[in-house]
Amino acid sequence: MAEHHRARIDFDPRFTVAEVPERLFGSFVEHLGRCVYTGIYEPDHPRANADGLRQDVLDLIGELGPTMIRYPGGNFVSGYRWEDGVGPKADRPRRLDLAWGVTETNQFGLGEFMKFCRTVGVEPNMAVNLGTRGLQEALDLLEYANHPSGTYWSDLRRSHGDEEPYGIKLWCLGNEMDGPWQIGQRTAAEYGRVADQTGRAMRMIDPGLDLVACGSSSRAMPTFGAWEAEVLAQSYESVDYISAHAYYQPQGGDVASFMASAEDMELFIDGVIATADAVGAKLKSDKKIDIAFDEWNVWYQDAWAAGETDERPEPWAVAPRQLEDAYSAMDAVVFGSLLITLLRRCDRVTAACLAQLVNVIAPIMTEPGGPAWRQTTFFPFAEASKWGRGTVLEVSAEAPTFTTAKFGEVAALHSVAVANEDGSVTVFAVNRDLDHPLTVEIDASSLPSLGQVTCSTLTDADPDAKNTLQDQERVAPAANATVAVDGGRISVELPAMSWNTLRITP
């Protein structure tokens, strides 16, 4: 049996980091693969509702608990004509989608997305195309969406059956404009100017908007840092957020570094905040720019880019299988650690989107005409969205370390505590060590009372265990029976490679 390591967590509800922003638990629906078609929207499915939305998927989304959804891309948005997706479905054109090499039928568009958001009860986050299009088309879209009536675009919306304006508050000014893969990629100087002009003009229509400028599409981009500095130097007063995107995978079999992926996310956040604040200081601005971490996940991107997955879409196919990663128990633990980082840094990361929602690198999978099921990554997100609400507390932790090639010595325990509005406290904790269980002592003596203490744990003896069409419930969290309470001290055993949600109710 592997030797148990020991760790310690202290917190005090008087010492806080920040309130958890509502937008922290966002997700992302892109017109990509089967995220929309046969994912959320499948009118012929036996469980489809009157709007063509799959009720089985809606039920799982309700359980997952996203609060906001970004749409319609992603790389897709940089070639998208939003007008193609509104009005009578029979008149909507089929178009080539150059971003993903497929055919877009436009049977799902803005009106359907808004219906979906209302049904699920999430805030919409709409991206405008600053790749093949620009300022005027962004203004047309905003007028269609948010202007009440009496103009060409607002009356067009009303003629399409949506009398009331959509009131979309959160908008992304393009997507990953630094990436050579992006249709209409721009230099930082070019994009900074376009973002500034687009943001300012959009606010002339609707001054209450929250606007996201594109930051770097990963921390590994050669332009990281310089990009943010230039873009924000031009657009600082016209935007509210700068975006960050990060996807993690084991590289070259280095699973120890993969387990510590959150270290990279922390460095990414530090770098963007330092850069944004330096620009603000230089401009003598009182304003702070927050981070919208609007794409994050585990994604086996190298295998996909090298064509090593089973997916072989025909050129210009309609909604083929693309990016349908099946997530393991180990992936879920890394994913949980990324969630812990987002919570720990939610003083400045005030919006985030799990990319994506259904089928495409997603927590929910479906079969056309068939079932829908939860991937391993579903569980950490659902638990964090349910119990990670309230105020993040400062946590002081001591833990043994393990060695990684990318980040040196890394603490095995990664944790955060959240004081929930009902008086309970939730501790999310990951044991990132693949070999050693961890006995964690939690000093909860600062809490007025310790009523019930429970812990739910996701782990698996096989790190590669997955939930699949054939075995949909192979991996799931289970009650952890090792919780012990002694006065104000709690102790619990966290298995090697595990995600844990510990609930302390008064």
Residue placing its CB nearer to ligand AHR in the complex, 182 or 385: 182
Residue 246 C-beta: closest distance to ligand AHR, Å = 10
Give dist(CA 460, CA 487) in Å, integer. 31
Residues 295-334 close enough to bind ligand AHR by CB under 6 A? 295
What number of chain residues touch ligand AHR (CB under 6 A)? 10
175 part of the interface to ligand AHR, by CB under 6 A: yes
Q: Write the binding mask 207 to 226 for ligand AHR: x where contact by CB under 6 A, - elsewhere.
A: ----------x---------
Give dist(CA 45, CA 30) in Å, integer. 20
176 part of the interface to ligand AHR, by CB under 6 A: yes
E-strand ranges in 425-497 read 425-431, 438-443, 453-458, 478-479, 484-486, 489-494
* 91, two tokens: 């008149």
131 part of the interface to ligand AHR, by CB under 6 A: no
Question: Which one of residues 351, 355, 429, 483 is an interface residue with ligand AHR (CB under 6 A)?
Answer: 355
Give dist(CA 142, CA 472) in Å, integer. 41
The 8-class DSSP code of residue 25 comes to G
Q: How many residues appear in the chain?
A: 506
Give dist(CA 401, CA 415) in Å, integer. 14
Residue 78 C-beta: closest distance to ligand AHR, Å = 9
Question: Which one of residues 10, 30, 162, 433 is an interface residue with ligand AHR (CB under 6 A)?
Answer: 30
**Is 145 within 8 Å of 138 (Cβ atoms)?**
no
Q: Is 295 a catalytic residue?
A: yes
Given 30, 112, 295, 324, the catalytic residue: 295
E-strand ranges in 238-298 read 241-248, 290-298
Residue placing its CB nearer to ligand AHR in the complex, 30 or 290: 30
Residue placing its CB nearer to ligand AHR in the complex, 188 or 425: 188
- Cα diameter, the chain: 73
Residue placing its CB nearer to ligand AHR in the complex, 75 or 457: 75
Residue placing its CB nearer to ligand AHR in the complex, 183 or 427: 183
Residues 61-120 close enough to bind ligand AHR by CB under 6 A? 73-75
- 3-state SS record for 69-119: EEECCCHHHHHCCHHHHCCCHHHCCCEEECCCCEEECCCCCHHHHHHHHHH
336 part of the interface to ligand AHR, by CB under 6 A: no
What are the residue numbers of the active site? 176, 295
Site of interaction with ligand AHR (CB under 6 A): 30, 73-75, 175-176, 217, 295, 355-356
